[in-house]
Amino acid sequence: MSIMAYNGASVVAMKGKNCVAIASDRRFGVQALTVSCDFQKIFKVNDRLFYGLAGLGTDVQTLSERFRFKSNMYKLREERDLEPKTFAHMVSSTLYEKRFGPYFVEPVVAGLDKKGEPFVCSTDLIGCINFAKDFVVAGTASQNLYGMCETVWREDLEPEELFEAVSQALLNAVDRDCLSGWGAVVHIITPEKIITRTLKGRMD
Amino acid sequence: MLADAPAATHHAAAMQRRVDPYADNGGTAVAIAGEDYAIIAADTRQSEGYNINSRNAPKAFQLNESTVVSCCGFYADATALTTYLKQRIVQYEFDHDKPMSTPALAQLLSITLYGKRFFPYYVHNILAGLDEEGRGCIFNYDPVGSFEKYRWQAAGSGVSLIQPFLDNQVGFKNMPLEKNPPFLPLAKALQLVKDAFTSATERDIYTGDCVEIFIITKDGVRKESYDLKKD
């Protein structure tokens, strides 16, 4: 079995009108066995920047700690918040440092830049960035997510519409993937606030 | 194999040249069953690796006045299988003096596929038609003949992209609804099929060029063709 499919995970991020959404499932498993239903895969950098990590669980946790360290140091030195694009490049270089012994993760970055412009991107496990103008997907249900996002996404979705779109995309995609699911977490990031909802889908 | 051979010794491991009898020619099919209709659609691109062999190689075949089958996977096995099925339909009509019904064909396809259990037809079939009561029915098969009746199903290289979309829009999954999802009207189902193909064409390199949609009703089988992106 592929090492990227050992624990199972799915993450998706979408652009909306002056907002972005990022969502993930909550399952943590060891191949066929489900071990936990509240495994965190999306992490906050600041009030306008989130990122998600799909892939091997240990690397998800290790990298989230490394990124917490790097972003804290950035904040102390620069005395300003990280911009999404800058963080994306930080993720990319962190991964490429391990080019010949990589972290087995597929990161997804979503945020609003200092002008409030929405930003989403994803990278592969060695740091190649995909700057998308619509949505990005990662994880064991990535094919399913591509199909769902391609049909439900439209340009300039308002925050509540974006929430519906990303939730339906994630829930229906993970329902066809044995290794993802057991609930979902959705964050909608707008200039004024962050809306976080936990969804209960099929718990199997 | 060669990488495993020990570098120190000089004898090569006993090797037997084998030809891989199968190929993956790509392509996607979608089918939806309604109250009094069945829709089945398949794209017409045939590929091998990164090459396109043909932009007009249909994967859905009309077998008789009431049934259409789509075969995704290895194109040679798809044509061999459908040729065989057409021959068996002619035989059936001589033996029974009546057209072969869709459920009967469904069973025939299953036993034909299992007949080659130890050298399978490398195809994922979907059979569509009307049942004895005139309601739409589709049957989904694995390569060795395991089959089940469904109300919606996708197959082929775009199956993972399209199946969740169908679950959501035809089956109303993850949407607050009463127990039994209502049957879709024909026009709505047709629009969903077209959207499914345009979306799959965007993200799946093996899907594209053109989609042929067969609409089966009590009045017969109608075919419609729509262009898809050719990149």
Question: Taking the CA atoms of chain A, what radius of gyration do you get in angstroms?
Answer: 16
Predicted confidence (pLDDT) at residue B12 exceeds the cutoff of 70: no
Q: What is the pLDDT of residues A58-109, one digit of tens each?
A: 999 999 999 999 999 999 999 999 999 999 999 999 999 999 999 999 999 9
pLDDT of residue A187: 98
Banded model confidence at residue B10, pLDDT cuts 50, 70, 90: low
Q: How high is the pLDDT of residue B182?
A: 83
* Identity of the amino acid at A105: V
- Nearest residue in chain A measured CA to CA from B194: A151
pLDDT reading at B162 higher than 90: yes
Segment 111-170 of chain A within 8 Å of chain B by CB? 143-144, 146-148, 150-151, 167-168
Percent of chain B at pLDDT exceeding 90:
89
The yes-or-no verdict on residue A5 having pLDDT over 60 is yes
Nearest-by-Cβ selection for A150 from B167, B168, B203: B203
Contacts of residue A147 in chain B, CB cutoff 8 Å?
158, 160-165, 196, 199-200, 203
Is a pLDDT exceeding 60 seen at residue B8? no
Return the residue in B157, B168, B194, B201 with the most chain A beta carbons within 10 A, the one to mutate for interface testing.
Answer: B168
Region A53-60: mean pLDDT is: 98
Contacts of A23 in chain B (CB under 8 A): none
The yes-or-no verdict on residue A128 having pLDDT over 80 is yes
Chain A residues inside the 8 Å CB shell of B203: 146-147, 150
Q: Is B104 exposed, middle or buried (0-12, 13-18, 19+ CB in 10 A)?
A: middle
Q: What is the mean pLDDT of chain B?
A: 94
- What pLDDT is recorded for position B181? 74
- In the predicted structure, residue B20 carries a pLDDT above the cut 80: yes
Q: Do A168 and B174 touch (CB under 8 A)?
A: yes
Give the DSSP per-residue string, chain B: -GGGS-SSS-PPPP-------------EEEEEE-SS-EEEEEE--EEETTEEEES----EEEEETTEEEEEEE-HHHHHHHHHHHHHHHHHHHHHHSSPPPHHHHHHHHHHHHHHTTTS---EEEEEEEE-TTS-EEEEEE-TT--EEEESEEEEETTHHHHHHHHHHHTS-TTS---SSPPPPPHHHHHHHHHHHHHHHHHH-TTS-SEEEEEEEETTEEEEEEEE----
* pLDDT at residue B11 tops 80: no
Smallest Cβ–Cβ distance between A147 and the set B160, B173, B174 belongs to: B160
Looking at residue B178, its pLDDT comes to 65
Please answer whether residues A42 and A52 qualify as being in contact, where contact means their C-beta atoms are separated by less than 8 angstroms: yes
- Per-residue confidence band for B36, with pLDDT thresholds at 50, 70 and 90: very high
**What number is the ipTM of this complex?**
0.91
Q: Do A147 and B165 touch (CB under 8 A)?
A: yes
Which residue in chain B is spatially nearest to A152 when comparing CA positions?
Answer: B165
User: Which chain B positions have a beta carbon within 8 Å of A175's beta carbon?
Assistant: 164, 167, 173-174
Report CB contact under 8 Å: B168, A168.
Answer: yes
Per-residue pLDDT, B2: 47
For the ranges A152-161, B14-23, B111-120, the lowest mean pLDDT is seen at B14-23
Place of tokens 């898809």: B228
- Express each pLDDT in A185-204 by its tens digit: 999 999 999 999 999 999 99
B200/A173 Cβ within 8 A = no
Taking the Cβ of residue A71 and every Cβ of chain B, the question of whether any pair is shorter than 8 Å is answered with: no
Asked if A201 is an interface residue toward chain B (Cβ–Cβ < 8 A), one would say: yes
Over residues B2-25, mean pLDDT: 73
% of chain A residues with pLDDT over 90: 100
- What is the pLDDT at residue B84? 98
Chain B nearest-CA distance from A68, in A, is: 34
| pLDDT value of position B9 | 55
Of B162, B174, B202, the CB nearest to A201: B174
Q: How confident is the model at residue A145 (pLDDT cuts 50, 70, 90)?
A: very high
Helix, strand or coil, per DSSP, at residue A33: strand
pLDDT of residue B1 exceeding 50: no
Contact residues on chain B for A163, CB-CB shorter than 8 A: none
- Contact (CB<8Å) A151/B167: no
User: pLDDT at position B7, please?
Assistant: 52
pLDDT band (50, 70, 90) for residue B16: confident
Residues B59-95 have pLDDT tens digits of 999 999 999 999 999 999 999 999 999 999 999 999 9
